[in-house]
Every structure is written in C-alpha cells, then in structure tokens.
Structure 1
Amino acid sequence: MYNLVIDIGNTFSKVALFDKRELCELHIVRDIDPKALSTLISDKGISNAIMSTVRPDTGLEDFLEKNFKYLEFSTSLTGLINNHYKTPQTLGLDRYAAVVGAAYVFQGANCLVIDAGTCITYDFIDGNKNYYGGSISPGMNMRYKAMHTFTGKLPLLYPDLDYRAEMGNDTRTSMLSGVQNGLRYEVEGFIRSYFSTYPNMVIALCGGDADFFDRQLKNSIFAQSVKAVPDLVLIGLNEVIHHYND
C-alpha cells in the first residue's frame, strides 16, 4: 500500500506515491482538483495521505478524508523536530515540511535548506533537530515580473540559465545581471554567514529554480557542501506519515 503525498505550491503542484520511504511515482502539474487527482491515482492501492498547500481551499481535503487515512499536516504536529519558531501558526507548511525532510535525510548534521520557488526561503536546522527560522526573499521570476510591473519601460524577461557575464551591456543583459548575479551574491552571502558559525554545514537545495542555484554553487567554494534534494518537501511529508503510523 502506498502513501499519497501532495505538495501544492504557488505555481505547481506535486503528487507523489511512496512505498514506505521509496518515491515510486511523481506527477508535477499546474493545477490539481479532486477529479484530476482521481485520474492520477486510480487503482494505485493507497492507504495513507497527507497534503501541504499554500493556496486557498482546493476541495482536496474533503476528498482525501473520505477516501484514505488522511493526516492533516500542520506546524502544530510535534515530535518530528524541535520547532522554536515564534509564530508557528504563520510558518509556511512547505518550509516546515522541508526542514522535517532535511532532519531525516541529513540526520545529525547542521543543514541550511534553500527552497528556490516562487519565493526563496532559507531555513536552518541544526544536528539536534532544532529549528528557529530563516529568511524569505523574492524568487527569480518574481524579481523579473516586479521590474516590469513597477516601471514604465523595462521589459518582462524570463530566466536565462546560460547567462554568465558579470556586467550587462544593454537593457536586457543589465536586467539579467541584476537579477541572476544578485541572486548568486545573495545566496552566497547567506551561506557564508551560516558557515561562520556552522563550518560543517550541509546545504540542501530544492524548489523549481534549484537547478540555477546548483549550477552557481558548483563553481563556488561551497561546492562540496551542496546537496540537491529536489523532493525534500515530499520526503518531509512522507516522514510525518511514518512518525504517526509506525
């Protein structure tokens, strides 16, 4: 019997099936509702289900409660990590799931989780599973959209992962330099700051733009510490199922 794990983000949704701790099937879709979900998981033999969502009610929770052993995921669930966040009720479920996943994948290690999605989140969890918080920053596409939306003449651009120059020589390349080099300097600055206190830290990358950061950091002094774990949020959610059912 499978565990059904759903992660609904701002842009995409992930629907995954785990056989115990093995990820067996993954679907990434723009939108998901009960009908679409039924099609994806038809005749899959699912027992447990869990969901993390950053969107308003999708109607999925009722569907999951009626059809499976559904575990409602929230930051009030205890025993997985030591959550010291001052306002746990405002903590994004994707951030919480990611640090739970990091605590499992990198057991006993200090870990900085960088989730590069619509927003970029930096969350630190130490080797004793203590989580205090982190940082939230605009994501890459959000930065391009903001420059276009809040100015009169700047065009709407999209990421160019092949762009490498330090300095732009026209409007387009100047914007590429500002956003993509700016992000590189930002992430390296965060990492350097954490490394000053935790020199043996692991850097876990996940999220839709993780490939961009992976490329950038592979050419940095932090390369040996970088671990790409694209399904970290899903892994964390699956660990919650195991914690409450094993």
Structure 2
Amino acid sequence: MILEIDYGNTRLKWRLVDLLTMEIVARGATSDAQELVREVGRYIQVPIRYCRVCSVRKVFDNSVLSDLLLRSLKIMPVYAVSLPELAGVTNGYTDAAKLGVDRWLALVAAYSAAQTACLVFDCGTAITVDYVSTKGFHLGGCIAPGVQMMKTALNSSAQQLAGFELDESASGFVRGSNTRSAISCGVATMFKGFVQEHVAQAVKEWGSDFQVVCTGGDGRFVSSAAGNALFDEDLVFKGLAIACPFVGGV
C-alpha cells in the first residue's frame, strides 16, 4: 500500500492507496502525527511500501512526522517540493521553491486533468487562488484569510462575536437578524466577492475557455459561489501522486 499525507496548518489528512488497483482503501484526518500513526495502524494488514507527503509545516514538524513513521510503520516518507516545472506546468514564482507546495500540487493536478486554462481555489486555513494559462504557465495568484483565520481573529479581538459557522446554503445577498447570522452572511459575502472577482478576471483574460477547480475544507461553498466549478477534495493528493510517483515493484 501507499500512504499519502497532506500535512496542513490545522489538520493532517491521509489516504491509504492499494498498489495494485490504485483504489483508496482508507482515509481520514487527524490533529497530529501521533494520532495519524494510531489511525493508520488499524488498516495495515498489507505492509505500506511507500509514503509521500505534502507538508506546509516547519522543518521540526516534518522531522517529528518522519521519525514517527520510521519508528512505528517502518517507512521513510518522501516530501514533495515546488519545482520550476512539472507535468507541463511552469511555476510562475521568481523563486519556484517559495510557492506553497500545496498550491503547487493543486494547480499541477488541475491542469493535468483539464489540459486548458485553470482557475484553482484551495480553501483551507487560508483561501488561495492561482491562474494557469492554456499552455500551462502559472500566472501567479492571491492569498486571503479563510474561514478558520476569520474565526481566530474574531475569537482573539472580539469575544462576543465568536462562534459563528459559515452558512453554505446561503444564496444571494442576505442580512442577519442576529449577531451570529450577521457574521455568517458577512463572511459569506466576503468569500463570494473574492471568488467572483477572480472568476470575472479570468473571463476577461480567457473568455469562457477555462476550468474553475476548487478544493479544501470550504471548497464546496466556494465552488457554488464560482458557478460552473469543479469540486475535487483530493486535488492535492492527485498532484502529490504526480510529483512523487511510486517507482518500485508491487
């Protein structure tokens, strides 16, 4: 089996993939590396042959993860990095390595599937958007606070305004009748404005010949705001498989 890990700012997502069929055997999300090892341990009737990781964490956190995996599961993980070019996509950053590896893998996976211009939204702790041209050139992107960041800001600066949840069913312009709903619709409006502004910009540049792809925890909400968008919760994992393919025998 192959163990795939997406080590984000707030969660550690994982999948176990069958080496023969490439089907997903199990998946989950944990808060730390030790919990990951415990969860994965329940499913390893067949030995793990390979482990690939997308991590936006610091070197220390990656070192702790690697040590745990080596001690507990007898595997040394391979970490994806942002490259100047991969799978027909050219990195648009002046220093390619500085592009967040999760964004890099998401846009590589999106372009590899669409083979046309892409607008890629990754909606986690932060919401990011990246533009990829028809010929695979990364044209840059934007980063804004996500729902979790907004929650943290409200919790730390205005305690009476804390505790809201994003209302994914809200459509159109709405106004709240209490503080909780007012915050929810306010955040939703900000998200929709961010998404729709970038979609409008893509239309100016590419007309209708582009694909909007969304991933991340709040990806479904963003995909609804974008209109005719594709939601793919496994976009980063798909990019990870492209960046770190298993080359050994079954």
> Who is 1:44 aligned against?
46
Matches within 5 A, 1:217-232: 217=226, 222-223=227-228, 226-232=229-235
> Who is 1:201 aligned against?
210
Work out whether 1:119 is the aligned partner of 2:119: no
| Match 2:144 to one of 137, 147, 166 | 137
> Who is 1:60 aligned against?
65
Any idea what SS the aligned residue of 1:237 has?
Answer: helix
| Distance change (3 Å), C-alpha of 1:110 and 1:75 | same
Q: 2: CA distance between counterparts of 1:127 and 1:24?
A: 34
Work out whether 1:182 is the aligned partner of 2:190: yes
Any idea what SS the aligned residue of 1:176 has?
Answer: helix
Q: Identity of counterpart residues, as a percentage?
A: 25
Higher relative contact order (CA 8 A, sep 6+): 1
Any idea what SS the aligned residue of 2:244 has?
Answer: helix
| Distance change (3 Å), C-alpha of 1:116 and 1:87 | same
The alignment covers a number of residue pairs equal to: 238
RMSD between aligned alpha carbons?
2.7
Matches within 5 A, 1:10-89: 10-19=9-18, 22-33=23-34, 35-36=37-38, 39-56=41-58, 57-58=61-62, 59-64=64-69, 67-68=74-75, 70-76=77-83, 78-80=85-87, 81-89=89-97
Worse overlay, 64-73 or 53-62: 64-73
| Distance change (3 Å), C-alpha of 1:65 and 1:71 | farther
Structure 1 unaligned runs (5+)? Answer: none
Work out whether 1:172 is the aligned partner of 2:177: no
Any idea what SS the aligned residue of 1:242 has?
Answer: coil
Q: Cα deviations across residues 101-137 of structure 1 (Å, max 9, x unaligned)?
A: 112222x211111011110010122232222321111
Any idea what SS the aligned residue of 2:93 has?
Answer: coil
Return the offset for 1:11.
Answer: 1.9
Amino acid at match of 1:211: R
**After TM superposition, where is structure 1 displaced by more than 6 Å over at least 4 residues in a row?**
243-246
Structure 2 unaligned runs (5+)? Answer: none
Q: 2: CA distance between counterparts of 1:31 and 1:241?
A: 23
Worse overlay, 166-175 or 5-14: 166-175
TM-score relative to the length of structure 2: 0.82
| Distance change (3 Å), C-alpha of 1:100 and 1:15 | same
Return the offset for 1:153.
Answer: 4.4
TM-score relative to the length of structure 1: 0.83
| Distance change (3 Å), C-alpha of 1:155 and 1:75 | closer
